Structure 1
Amino acid sequence: MTKALLLIANGSEEIEFVTPYDVFVRAGIQAVSAGVELTEHWAVASRGVKIVPDTTVQELPPVDALAEEYDILVLPGGAPGAKTFCGSEKVKEILRAFYGKEGKIVGTICAASTAIKAAGLHYSKSLTSHPSVKDELTSDYEYKEDRIVVDGNLVSSRGPGTALLFALTIVEKALGAEKRKEVEGPMVLSSVL
């Protein structure tokens, strides 16, 4: 079974966390969430919603084992959460273990794309992010303003309004176009996202 690890911190964007989690489960992907540097058993997301993750990054197996166990790694945006990811050595180790590894997918959305740079990862040539952090990325990457940018095993996206397209793109990359269509149907997805 395909497995996805979704990270969350205080200040992560609710839509960008919950939407991929939901879409992955609909696609038959086992989704596991891990809190990063939480002071309580929950994360207080950017709009005040409390989300209880399945585990914490401290409780996860060693990084090498993670990269073997999980197929997908997702970092949601939200400026405060993204800053936590960028400052976490554990998150940067996890990113380095997944990024550029054959058969693995790394998804970053909104301000979380800055964690790619913070981890010192420059394998991908292009990515996107929320416009508010564009200037932090343009000198190191070919910055695109597309809603979704796929470069190798990195899928990056712009923000809350692109979260559903982001999640479906990851499903398609992991499981194929037919699985994406199968997930879209019952969701009564509009032809224009």
Structure 2
Amino acid sequence: MSVLVLVAPGSEEIETVAIVDILVRAKIAVTLASCCPLGQRQITASRGVRLVADCHLDELTQCDVAAIVVPGGVAGSEVIRDTPQAITLLKAQAALGRWRAAICAAPVVVLQHHGLLGDAHVTCHPAFQAQLPPAQCVRARVVRDDTHRLITSQGPGTAIEFALELVRVLRGDEAVLAVAGPLVLP
């Protein structure tokens, strides 16, 4: 089982690293793919932290993954939104009925922008919630919509909960407990 995590210049580092770390702890293979317009693997995240992706999106020869995850950060979300290959992968993932997940600004800036939310119940960073239709916006920290195979979350402070929800849908409750316990999470 594997997960693709998209990252770009300006992606939120806490969200990106927490997602990758939690998934790896749950024994899920993760590919961190750069959407950097210059084809680079190294990106500078939203607060200046440098992250090195496993590959550039252009290097992917196939994308048969259980989930595609989009961290937030406004600038990073805008780059991912404007990367045609990333959007093609997200649309294909939705068409196959496979999991997609987005946090912070990404649910609105990336998914909503490209019509990838459908009528799913979602959340996002509070600064973007007004851009969601009221009937669709849930003000919870993490929202899982099983019908649309979509998980969304609010921001850096919810990143671990968000990643654990990904673990839950991909590996089950026992895997969540195995990861959360040593982290001293409630």
| TM-score > 0.5 by shorter chain | yes
The CA deviation string for residues 108-137 of structure 1, in whole angstroms up to 9 with x for no partner, is: 000011211122224342111011222332
1:21-100 equivalent positions in 2, closer than 5 A = 21-39=20-38, 40-61=40-61, 65-66=62-63, 69-99=64-94
1:30-179 equivalent positions in 2, closer than 5 A = 30-39=29-38, 40-61=40-61, 65-66=62-63, 69-99=64-94, 101-102=96-97, 104-114=98-108, 115-138=110-133, 142-152=136-146, 153-179=149-175
The CA deviation string for residues 151-192 of structure 1, in whole angstroms up to 9 with x for no partner, is: 121000000000000000110111100110011111122x2x
Structure 2 portions without partners, runs of 5+:
none
Structure 1 portions without partners, runs of 5+:
none
Match of 1:185 in 2: 181
Given residue 60 of structure 1, which amino acid in structure 2 is its aligned partner?
Answer: L
Given residue 146 of structure 1, which amino acid in structure 2 is its aligned partner?
Answer: A
Aligned length: 182
Distance in 1 (alpha carbons) for counterparts of 2:35 and 2:123: 23
Per the normalisation by structure 2, the TM-score is: 0.92
Instruction: Show structure 1 runs of 4+ deviating over 4 A.
Output: none
Given residue 22 of structure 1, which amino acid in structure 2 is its aligned partner?
Answer: D
Distance in 2 (alpha carbons) for counterparts of 1:116 and 1:37: 18
**Aligned-pair identity (%):** 35
1:18 and 1:187, CA in 2 relative to 1: closer, same or farther beyond 3 A? same
Offset at 1:43? Answer: 0.7
Question: What do you get for the CA RMSD once the two structures are aligned?
Answer: 1.5
